[in-house]
Amino acid sequence: MEIIRVPVLSDNYAWLIHDDGQTVALDPGEAAPVAAAAAARGWTIGQVWLTHWHPDHVGGAAELRAAGAHVAGPAAEAAKINGLDTLLAEGDRIAVGSLDATIWSVPGHTAGHIAFHLADRAVIFTGDTLFAMGCGRLFEGTAAQMHANMRRFAALPENTRVYCGHEYTLSNARFAAVAEPDNDAIAARLADVTAMREAGEPTIPTTIALERATNPFLRSVDAQELAERRAAKDAFKG
C-alpha cells in the first residue's frame, strides 16, 4: 500500500491510495494535480472516493470520472454530488487492490459525511470530521453528533494513522493551547507543528495516540464541552 498526499486548492489535501496495481483518488478538490501525481508514478486512477459534498473535496471528481474513474460517495448526499456511481452508507465496504475499507457514517460537518476505515492497515480517512488537533465546523449537524464521532475515533487503536482533508494543524494547535493551557503535550506539539510549518513540511497524517493527547475536541468530556470549544474555535483569531 502507498498513500500519497496531493496538495490542492489553498490548504486541501487530496489522497492517492495505491495497492496491487490499482489507484483511488480520495477527495480530489481539483483534478489536474491529482491526475499529474498519479501519472508521475505510472498509476491510473480507477476509482474516486468522496467523504462529503463540499466543492473543495469533489471539484475534480467529474473530470476524473470522464477519464474513466468510478466514483463512490455518501448515499445521504447523492442529491448534492453529481455522477456518483456507488452510494455508500454506514457499514458498507469498498475495496482497492487488496485493501478493504469500511464506511463510517460521521455526520456533523455535513449531514451525510462518511469516513473510510482500513482497519487491517490501521488507517482512516476522515475528510473534514477529525482534523489534527481539531474537528470540522458544524455546518449541518450537531455537537452531539460530532461528540459521538470523536468518541468513536478515540476508541481506535492508538497507532491508527489519520488522513484528513486540510492543513489546519497550526491554527488548531494555537487554539488547543488556549483551550487546555495546562496540557504539556499540547504545548510540545504546538512547538513541533510550528517548526514543521516554518520548514514547509506537512503535519498530516496524524495518529489516534497524538489526538487523544492533544486534540481538545476528541478530549471533550461531553457534547456541551465540545459545543463550547467549537464555538470558541469558530471565533478564534490566533
Q: What pLDDT, in 10s, does the model give residues 28-86? A: 999 999 999 999 999 999 999 999 999 999 999 999 999 999 999 999 999 999 999 99
Report the alpha-carbon distance of residue 22 to residue 24 in Å, rounded: 7
Active-site choice (56, 113, 117, 147) = 56
Q: What are the domain boundaries of the chain?
A: 2-235
Parallel/antiparallel/unpaired status of strands 134-135 and 130-131: antiparallel
Beta-ladder partners of 26 = 15, 49
> Among residues 18, 27, 54, 147, which one is catalytic?
54
Of these residues, 18, 27, 57, 147, which one is catalytic? 57
Length of the chain in terms of residues written: 238
> Distance between CA 127 and CA 225 in Å, rounded?
23
Known binder of ligand: residue 166? yes
Mark whether 166 is an active-site residue: yes
SS3 89: coil
* Annotated binding residue 57: yes
Active site residue 52: yes
183, three cell numbers? 496540557
Residue that the C-alpha cell 495505491 belongs to:
18
**204-231: average pLDDT:** 98
Give, as one character, the DSSP assignment of residue 94: E
Catalytic residue status for 27: no
The whole-angstrom separation of Cα 130 and Cα 1 is: 23
Under CATH, what is the fold of the domain 2-235?
A: Metallo-beta-lactamase; Chain A (3.60.15)
pLDDT at residue number 165 = 97
Instruction: Output the average pLDDT for the chain.
Output: 98
What pLDDT digit, counting tens, does each position of 98-128 carry? 999 999 999 999 999 999 999 999 999 999 9
pTM (predicted TM-score):
0.97
Neighbouring CB atoms inside 10 A of 156's CB total 20
Contacts of 41 (CB under 8 A, 6+ apart): 4, 16, 18
- Establish whether 56 is a catalytic residue: yes
Q: Is 70 annotated as a binding residue?
A: no
Catalytic site residue from 18, 27, 109, 147: 109
Q: Is the pLDDT of residue 216 over 90?
A: yes
> What confidence tens digit (pLDDT) does each residue in 181-200 have?
999 999 999 999 999 999 99
